[in-house]
Chains A and B, each alone.
Chain A
Amino acid sequence: MKNGAQYIIDFLLKKEVEMVFGYPGGQILNFYEYLGKSQLKHVLVRHEQAAAHAACGYARATGKPGVCLATSGPGATNLVTGIADAYLDSIPLLAITGQVNLNDIGKDSFQEADITGIVTPVTKHSYLLESLETLPEVLDEAWQVATSGRPGPVLIDVPKNLFLAEGEMTDSRQTLHTRKVKKADRTEELMPEIMEALRKAKQPLILAGGGLVTAGACGLLIKLVEETGIPVVNTLMGKSAYPADQPLALGMVGMHGVAAANLALSSCDLLLCLGTRLSDRITGNRRQFLEEACIIHVDVDAAELQKNVDANYYLQLDARIFLQRLLDEGNFKKNGDIAKWHQQISQWQQDYPLPTTFDGLLKPQEVILEAARQAGSQAVVVTDVGQHQMFVAQYYPIGRCRNFLTSGGLGAMGFGLPAAMGAAFGRPEEDVLLFVGDGGFQMTLQELATIREHNLPVKIIILNNSTLGMIHQWQNVIFKKHYVASDLPALPDFAKLAAAYDIPAVTAAKREELSQVMEFVLKTKGPVIADFRVDGEELVLPFVLPGGKPQDMLGRWQGETHLRSFSRK
C-alpha cells in the first residue's frame, strides 16, 4: 500500500528526476512529509515564481523535464509566469500543486484557487486529480504530454486528502493518446519536392529555430551546412542550434537581428525554416514576409504551419528526422551560385558589422565581448529580458547546443537569476554566466539566498544602466524621447546587497578596469556579482520597428551619430 504522496515521489524517481524546485505551504505539507523521507532532492527557492523558472532553466540546460512544486492558492498562482514562459518556449515542465481537500473545492476555502482553470491557456494540459485510482494514469500521461512532440508545461493539481489516501495502485494502463486519429503523413509526398527546391535555389538560407535544440538536431544541421553550403541565420531561441564560430553562421535575424543576417533574410530566394514558429519578432509584417522567396517550413507542431506565414511547402516533422532524410537522400552539390551568394553575404558583413570599438561611457556590448573573450564560446550563458538580452544575442558567440538560455517567447523579466540557478543545478560541473539588467535583477533577487545556500557558480553580470533599457529605447525612438517610468531611481548598491547575502561582489564603471574585473568574476569560485555601470543611452541596433520588413532597419550605418533607415549600397 502506498499513499498518493509516496506514489508521486516514486514515479518521479522512476523517471530519473534528480531534483524538484519548490516552496511548501499548508495544502502540500503532506507531500513534503514524504518528500523529506525520500531520495528525491528538494531545492527550496525563496519565491514560487523562481521554482518554475529554475525548473525551466534546468530543463533548458539539460534537455530533461524540470519539476516544480507549490502549495495551493498563492503558491500555485505564483508559478504562472514560469509556466507561461515554458509554454511559449516549448520547455518540458511538470508543475505539481497542492489543492484544498476534494470536499472543500469550490467553497472559496482558505488558499483555494482554481489553478487548473487559470493555467489552461498556458499549459499543454492540466489535471485536477479527482481520485487516487486515476493517479498512475494522470502522472504517466502528464509526463508523456510534457515531453513528447513539441514539449511544454503540464500541471497536476492534487487535493490535500489525496496525498494521504492509500490504495493499491497499479502502474498506468492505456493512455488517452491512443484515441487520437492520426493525420495523413505528407512526408513521402513532399520530401522529393523539397529536395528539388533546395537543389535549384540560388540564394538559399536556413532559419534555425529552438525546435532544433529540442530535437537534438544541431549536429545534423552542421553536417547539412557542410554538404550544401547553405548559410544559417537563427532566431533568438535557435541561438545555440548552430555554433557561432562556423563561417556560415550569420547570427540572429529579426527586430534586433544582425544587419548582414537580416539582409540575407530579405534577399534569399529560398528560406528553410526549421523548428521555428516564425514569430512577429522575425517576420515583422506577417503578410508581406518574403513574398518572392520559396518558403519551406518544417515543425513538429502542425498548428504552427501556415499560422503566421504562408509557406510553399510545409511539413509536420521532427527536425532531426527531417535533416537525417535530407542528408541520406539529398545528393546536394554545391554550385557556382552558392559561392556568389557567400560573397554577397561577406560583403554585407564587411559593410555593416556590429560595432566593436567604443568610447565615452562604458557600453554593455564591451562587457559582453570581454566576458566572451575570457569565458569562451563553450560557457553556459543565461540572460534576463531587455536590451542586455538582445546585446548578448548579437554579441556572445555560443558554441554549443543548450548553452544559451533566455526567455524568448514570453520575455519574462526576472527569469534570469532563477533560470541560471536551475542551469547550475543541472550542469554542476560548469560555470553559468548570467547577464541581467538592473530592472530584471530586482524582480527575483531573493534567489541570491538559494544561490548562496548551495554555493552555485553563477556569475552574475549586472549591466546596470539605471534604466529599463528597452523601454527607454522605445520611448526614445518611437515615443520621441518622452520618457515615462523608464528610469529606475533609488537603485540599491548591488555590491552592498551582495555583501548582505555573503556573496563576493565588485563594481566597475571604467573601460580600463574591464578586463581585470572580468577576470575576478570568472576566477572567483562559487557565486559572484559584478555590477557594471554602463551607458543608459545606448541603443540596441539595428532596430526593425514593429511591423516592418527585415531590411527596414534603423541604425547608425557609417559611423554616423544619428539614426537612419537602412538603404542598400
Chain B
Amino acid sequence: MRHTFAVLVENSPGVLSKVAGLFSRRGFNIESLVVSETEDSSTSRMTIVVEGDNRVLEQVGKQLNKQVDIIKVNDITHEETVERQLCLIRVSADQSTRQEVLQITEVFRCRVVDIGRKSLIVEATGDETKMQAIIRSLRPFGIMELVRTGKVAMIRGERNKGK
C-alpha cells in the first residue's frame, strides 16, 4: 500500500541521498519527496510518499531511524493529517473556452496566475483527490504543461513537541 513518512533530519549534506538510498536499495520507487527547512534551521523535514509492502517499509523505517543524522521517523499513513500539494497547470484557453475554464478554477478555488493569448496558468493547492479532480476537469480543454510539488503533511490537533 501507499505510505507517507514524515522524517525529521539534521540539515546536513548527504542526508537526502542516504534516505533515498535506503528506499531504492530495496527496490522502492519514491513517488514524491519534499524536503525543506523546519522552524528550526538546523533540521529539515522530509515528507516521503512511497508505495510498497508494509513489512518491508517498516524495516526501511527502522533502518532510517538508525542513521546518525536522522532524528525522527514517523509513518503517518494512518494518522489524521492535513495534506497539501501545489500544482501549476498550463491549460489551453482561447476566446471560446476561456470563460468555461475560469469557472472551473473558481469551483475548485484555484487561482489563475498568468494569462496568455491561447492559454492560462492555473495554480491549485489541495490534497491528492482534489488535484486529480482538477486535472480531470481541465483535461478536455487541453493540458499543455503540468508541474506538481510532492505532498506535505502535518498531523491534526494539538501536538506536544517532544524535547
Contact = CB atoms under 8 A, between A and B. Distances in A.
5 nearest A-B residue pairs (beta carbon): A303-B62, A125-B68, A179-B71, A181-B72, A303-B63
Given A120-B17, A181-B162, A302 B65 contact: yes
B145 to A, nearest CB: 33
Contact of A301 (B18, B66, B69): B66
B10 interface: yes
A180 interface: yes
B21 interface: yes
A157 B62 CA distance: 27
Contacts of A85: none
Interface in A185-240: none
A371 B25 CA distance: 43
Contacts of A126: 14
Interface string A276-301: 00000000000000000000000001
A125 B68 CA distance: 7
Contact of B68 (A141, A302, A303): A141
A336 interface: no
Contact of B66 (A121, A141, A177, A303): A303
A156 to B, nearest CB: 13
B58 A306 contact: yes
Interface of B: 10, 13-14, 17-18, 21, 25, 58-59, 62-63, 65-69, 71-72, 162
Contacts of A559: none
Contacts of A303: 59, 62-63, 65-66
Contacts of B10: 176, 179
Contact of B71 (A141, A181, A306): A181
Interface string A121-136: 1001110100000000
A184 to B, nearest CB: 12
A270 to B, nearest CB: 24
Contacts of B18: 120
Contacts of B17: 117, 120
Nearest to B25: A121
A502 to B, nearest CB: 46
Specify which of A117, A121, A125, A179 lies most central, judged by the most chain B CB atoms within 10 Å of its CB. A179
19 contacts: A117-B17, A120-B21, A124-B66, A124-B68, A125-B67, A125-B68, A125-B69, A126-B14, A128-B13, A128-B14, A141-B68, A179-B71, A180-B72, A181-B72, A181-B162, A302-B65, A303-B66, A306-B58, A307-B62
A380 interface: no
B25 to A, nearest CB: 7
Nearest to A183: B65
A116 interface: yes
Contact of B62 (A116, A125, A145, A302): A302
Given A179-B71, A180-B71, A306-B58, A120 B14 contact: yes
Interface residues of A, number: 20
Specify which of B10, B17, B25, B59 lies most central, judged by the most chain A CB atoms within 10 Å of its CB. B59
A120 B69 CA distance: 12
Given A116-B14, A120-B17, A303-B63, A145 B68 contact: yes
A179 to B, nearest CB: 5
A178 to B, nearest CB: 10
Nearest to A125: B68
A89 to B, nearest CB: 16
B72 to A, nearest CB: 5
A124 to B, nearest CB: 7
A420 to B, nearest CB: 31
A307 B59 contact: yes
Specify which of A120, A301, A303 lies most central, judged by the most chain B CB atoms within 10 Å of its CB. A303
Contacts of B69: 125, 176
B143 to A, nearest CB: 38
A75 to B, nearest CB: 21
Interface in A96-125: 116-117, 120-121, 124-125
A148 to B, nearest CB: 11
A181 B21 CA distance: 23
A179 B8 CA distance: 10
Contacts of B59: 303, 307
Given A126-B14, A145-B68, 19 more contacts: A116-B14, A117-B17, A120-B14, A120-B21, A125-B67, A128-B14, A176-B68, A176-B69, A177-B68, A179-B10, A179-B71, A180-B71, A180-B72, A301-B66, A302-B62, A302-B65, A303-B62, A303-B63, A303-B65
A126 B18 CA distance: 11
Contacts of A181: 71-72, 162
A307 B69 CA distance: 22
Contacts of A301: 66
Nearest to A303: B62
B71 to A, nearest CB: 5
Contacts of A116: 14
Nearest to A316: B62
A145 B70 CA distance: 13
Contacts of A124: 66, 68
A120 B14 CA distance: 9
Contacts of B25: 121
B37 to A, nearest CB: 16
A121 B67 contact: no
B43 to A, nearest CB: 8
Nearest to A126: B14
A303 B63 CA distance: 6
A125 B18 CA distance: 10
A417 to B, nearest CB: 31
A267 B21 CA distance: 40
A128 B72 CA distance: 23
B160 to A, nearest CB: 12
A485 to B, nearest CB: 29
Contacts of A307: 59, 62
Contacts of A177: 68
